[in-house]
Amino acid sequence: MAKPTLKDFEERLNSIYPELYEMLAKEKEEFSFRVNLLKALPSEVLEELRIEGLEPNETLFDDVFTLPNEFRDVLPKFRVYTDGKIYIQSLSSIFAAKALDVKKSDWVLDLAAAPGGKSLIFAQRANKVSAVEPDKSRFFSMKRNFKTMGVKNIQTYNKDGRFIYKSCNGWFDRVFLDAPCSSEAHIDIKKGITWWSMRRIYKFAKLQKELIVSAFESLKPNGEMIYATCTFAPEENEAVVNFLLSKYPNAKILPIEHNFSNFIPALTSFGDEEYSKEVKNSIRVLPDSAFSGFFMAKIKKS
């Protein structure tokens, strides 16, 4: 089989959404970071950054701000970062984590948690969080992140998320699955596509179907979960959600409220595949400004 080319990748992306390749190739102008409310208030962080000569921009969230991309490598050198008062995170990931709508009484499962940014968001609201990560090096890096951020209500498990449901079936009020994926949204086109291929997409799609089953089985009745990826491939997004709907009649895709022009409904079909009409309630986030490419579906277990 011939090695995929950049042209193959461009044609593939544009078959999913017109001009998607061009959006991905566009130079990012800003990045986002979130205030760690366990250690500081947004006003305190803003004051510290202004002393350093930085003027962060506000976002839709009171605890989330953006800066020009030229400061992306500078910010981690400041004490406000090393003290764990802020966490650099894509606005897409922040939006998805907050969309889970965690309550103070909730027990949350983060099923593929490393590096732990979303678990930290959940920990600010939830009663407790269980963060699962199978890769040992990523697991210990995640634990260090939690320690730096001063979080006390996260339990960590170096386990394979595909099998978690076997020991905790129906335990959790909320589940978040940011599934391992082909990471197309993070491809730097200037450096080429050395690791991208359809074979890689199909490999991850198989894993994702196992993980989404484990996530759904781990939910309590009437619980809610979010399935997310940072890739564009329908095989890893709509097709995985459609698979869950076909397997579980008690799964329902909930609409997600937003007011962003770069958020579009999920596909209802791709190639020869037709998806359930419910899948359209899922969201595709097109890369724009501090938003990276993303897919998310909010699922309720009745």
Residues 144-161: tens digit of each pLDDT: 999 999 999 999 999 999
Active site residue 230: yes
Catalytic residue among 230, 245, 251, 253: 230
Please name which of 62, 76, 80 lies closest in space to residue 31, comparing C-alpha atoms: 76
Q: How confident is residue 85, by pLDDT bands cut at 50, 70 and 90?
A: very high
List domains and CATH numbers for the chain. Answer: 6-27+91-301 (3.40.50.150)
Beta-carbon contacts of 64 under 8 Å, excluding residues fewer than 6 positions away, are: 32, 33, 34, 35, 91, 94
Kindly report whether the global pTM for this prediction surpasses the value 0.85.
Answer: yes
Q: Could you give the angle at the alpha carbon of 247 between the alpha carbons of 209 and 15, nearest 5°?
A: 55
The torsion of the CA quartet 273, 279, 281, 282, rounded to 10 degrees, works out to -80
Q: What is the pLDDT of residues 228-246, one digit of tens each?
A: 999 999 999 999 999 999 9
Q: Exposed, middle or buried by CB within 10 Å (0-12, 13-18, 19+), for 213? A: middle
List beta partners, residue 109: 130, 175
Phi, psi of 128 (to 5 degrees): -155, 160
Could you tell me how many residues make up the chain?
A: 302
Write out the two tokens for 236: 């890893």
Give pLDDT, residue 235: 98
